[in-house]
Structure 1
Amino acid sequence: MKSYKIAIVNSSSFGKYFPQQLERLKKIGEVESFVFDNDISGKDLAKALNGFNIIIASVRPFFNKEFFDNKDELLLLSRHGIGFNNVDVVAAKAHGTVVTIVPALVERDAVAENAVANLMALIRRTVDSQEAVKNNEWSKRATFLGINVTGKTVGVVGCGNIGSRVAEILKFGYNARLLVVDPKIDQAWAKKVGAEVVDLDYLLSHADVISLNASLNETSKNLLKDREFSLMKKGVYITNTARAELIEQDAILKALDAGIVAGYATDVMYSEPSFNDHPFVKHSKILVTPHTSAYAIECLQGMGEKCVADVENLISNKPLESVVS
């Protein structure tokens, strides 16, 4: 029987809430957890993981071509999540590594609900007002003024698995006018929920609230720059549980300071972890959470089960699901 060594890379949640998943892996082989800097070079990452032929990986660091060119035998890289933009799947395939992801539906409700939760906390100044109470400043309550989302125009950019659920919550939960942008939109779904399929410029110029749920690729990176912010209605609110790189950092800071954007809620950062000296964390109109959109019990259980099943199926020569390379 082949010997297996399993590395769990940069995941703060795998095995924490469902230790039985970790125990199942230990029955297969040696298991070790690693935490690496996000910007570790591919060569150094490969060296640090020498001898490990199975990896369960978080959203960072990057498993790039340099990593695969320098890595000894790697049979499986199982992403503990639905995205794989931190994995060079072409290089992985060239080196005989199978890359799998968590099926989209596992994260759908958790991430969508958090996008809306962060949005409402931002709009209704929930965190600020709680801090006021903690500081015995109840008298400041009249300063925590927000808006109603009910009846407003909401725009969802990226209407796939998660974005479509965000759209449904905002449409039916808040009786909103729904604008959506997605080059691969499901027209039958859009008709069913009463969504208006529009182009990005139209959405930006009409939406009171915007949710970013697009996947990150060459066409969506820095999707929102100075030009796009100039099109927005003054006082717009934005929530982002997709990828930080959808927005150009300096552009949104300028838009916030100019009053174009009334508030920005983000669960994703350009560099993770980010600290309290980051301009986003310091900004009074930005709500930052530490990439916790998937942190619902049901979601984490499903993610962990998928990764463990990947490993068990691999060693049993059974077909793997949600393979991307």
Structure 2
Amino acid sequence: MRLLDIRNLNIELQTNDEAVRAVESANFSMKMGEVSGLIGESGSGKSLIAKALVGVLNNRWNVSADRLHFLGEDLNKMSDSARRKIISSNISMIYQEPRRCLDPTADIFSQLEESLPDSDYAGWFGGNKEQRVKKCSNLLHKVGIKDHVAIFNSYPHMLSEGVCQKIMIAMAIAKAPKLLIADEPTTALESNTSMQVIKLLKSLNQLKDMAVIFITHNLNTITSWADTINVMYCGQLIESGPTKKLLSAPKHPYTKALFDSEPDFSKVDMHNKQRLYTLKGTIPTLQHLPAGCRLGPRCPNAQKACVVMPEQQKIKRQQFRCHYPLIEEIK
């Protein structure tokens, strides 16, 4: 049984003038314990897919899907209360802007305590308070916060964005969820702490069999340990497949452009400066998308057929949307 199975997911924003489709016909699936990277430029719709899954989008957004299965159960067909119960027990999310997601009126200990499993409150008068204090302090130590006493008595506005991010990560892993969605979890952190967080997520994946959706635009943070990679462009999942396969033989020109834009310090002469590879043009707005393939105006391989939207194809576990997929080089 698959942990997550999404088919034909569409997310629309209702504006005063028209409905703007921000995510179109997205297909996404994961196995138990899998690490899946969701990559793409800012505004491509990565965070929207995550928020639609956990049900935190407001009424202005319309979410529809042919299938939205988690652990074999269709979340779309459940009542709101049943869906919240499954999500709160099995799925956690690390948000991009942690200070906005923390309660400004409650101290950090109260918020950490709320994130603990319900079993920690069993017994008379809410169970063992000392045990919960110890668990909360251990959570902070795991994410690199040593002075837990000072943090316990603080409020979000008193802390830096980086510390708030660490607290958000601690709250997300408190219940040892089956699926952790990490939305740019290392953006506000210094390099040493970022490595510590990545190491923590790796260990949770290996020891607790916790599946991870890692959302990022920084390829170096995910390609070394993700099982699969999913690439988004302008609201569409344009290519997905095993990480090694995508790195060695991408089928979509945009995927290749993303990988080529990363500096390769093993081949570049550090004494000579050279430009990084970039695609020509800019990302179109969702209100003025090009006809057919959304990469068409920027694609180096565009032809007449590209004015028609390409259907999703599959070759050896790689799924992609392209009329003229790249041919694997013979080495």
Smaller-chain TM-score range? under 0.3
Greater strand content:
2
Higher relative contact order (CA 8 A, sep 6+): 2
Q: What TM-score do you get using the length of structure 2 for normalisation?
A: 0.27
